[in-house]
Amino acid sequence: MKKPLVSVVIPTYNRLLCLGELMESLSQQTFQDFEVIIVNDGGVSVEPVKELYPELYIMIINMEENSRHVHARNRGIVKANGEYIMLIDDDDLLVPSHMEMMVNEIGEKDLIYSDVEIVNFEEINGVRVPIDRHLFAYEFDLLAMRRFSTFVSSGCLYRKEIHQTLGLFDPNVHNYWDWDFFLRIAENHRIRRIAAAGVLYDFSEANDNQSKNLSSSRKFYLDRFCEKHNLGTLPIKNFFLLLEEPEVVQRKAESKILWDGKPFHSRLAPMPEK
């Protein structure tokens, strides 16, 4: 395979159903000059997913043990061959036009990110079906981003060379690795928000999403993150309660909805009856 333009880096841990749907969404991309790097973080084998999507160039990296998602992402970044990196969580999805849109829009910027739709899914016969969806679109305001980050790493596109100066993702801030990476990039690089919701961000009730976790350990990592960036003391609150804060509401922005609402039927799932 020739060197791809984009490397898609996906850490995963025991989410075959979600991972299969993500591969389905990648197979439907209108832009196909990319490789897929799946970092299996000590979970069940993901080889079945690779076998079912032979049209995708998929590299699987098997971690020796469960090292958590930041370490897994870093392993994937090191192996990436593309000029650009696109990050995505294993339970999120891309609308078919997303990658083409991002490649066309990056221009002279170093990192671009899109708006997303936050989706609550219900699994029916091996397929995640949307129950409700919520647009997550906010103006890019760097000062405000130091209080509440509206950067969603899933589906973002950036130049791999950034890591030569910034290093890899910081596992010492754990849950806040993406916010940390964004603030580090923002110091000396060019960033742009794309006003289109090309990513479906899974926030399902049954899903173990890190954004829902308000444990004492999360507070520990938030304090460590705040100290690193001189942010003072930031509150740890439920994600949707934070969205209701007046300063966050003021940043709401218009965005283009791209998803038709149809589920992504993975080849892992039973074929629907005709």
Q: Is 115 inside any structural domain?
A: yes
Q: Taking 70 as the threshold, does the pLDDT of residue 252 lie above it?
A: yes
Domain that holds residue 114: 6-257
Q: Is 266 inside any structural domain?
A: no
Give me the number of domains the chain comprises. Answer: 1
Q: Is 65 inside any structural domain?
A: yes
Q: Is 155 inside any structural domain?
A: yes
Can you tell me whether residue 20 is helix, strand or coil?
helix
Q: Is 209 inside any structural domain?
A: yes
Q: What would the pLDDT profile of 217-227 be if each residue is shown by its tens digit?
A: 788 999 999 99
Q: How far is CA 91 from CA 3, 14, 125, 163, 187, in A?
A: 27, 11, 17, 25, 30
- Residue 234 burial class via C-beta count within 10 angstroms: exposed 0-12, middle 13-18, buried 19 and up: middle
Q: Is 128 inside any structural domain?
A: yes
Q: What would the pLDDT profile of 159-215 be if each residue is shown by its tens digit?
A: 999 999 999 999 999 999 999 999 999 999 999 999 999 999 999 876 655 554 556
Where residue 59 sits, what CATH number does that domain have?
Answer: 3.90.550.10
End-to-end CA distance of the chain: 37
Q: Is 274 inside any structural domain?
A: no
Q: Is 157 inside any structural domain?
A: yes
Q: What backbone phi and psi angles, to 5 degrees, belong to 60?
A: -105, 130
Tell me, what's the pLDDT at 272? 65
Residue in the structure block whose two tokens are 């333009």: 5
Instruction: Read off the DSSP letter of residue 138.
Output: B
Please state, in angstroms and rounded to a whole number, the distance separating the CA atoms of residues 199 and 153. 10
Please state, in angstroms and rounded to a whole number, the distance separating the CA atoms of residues 270 and 267. 7
Give Cβ neighbours of residue 233 (< 8 Å, ≥ 6 apart): 223, 226
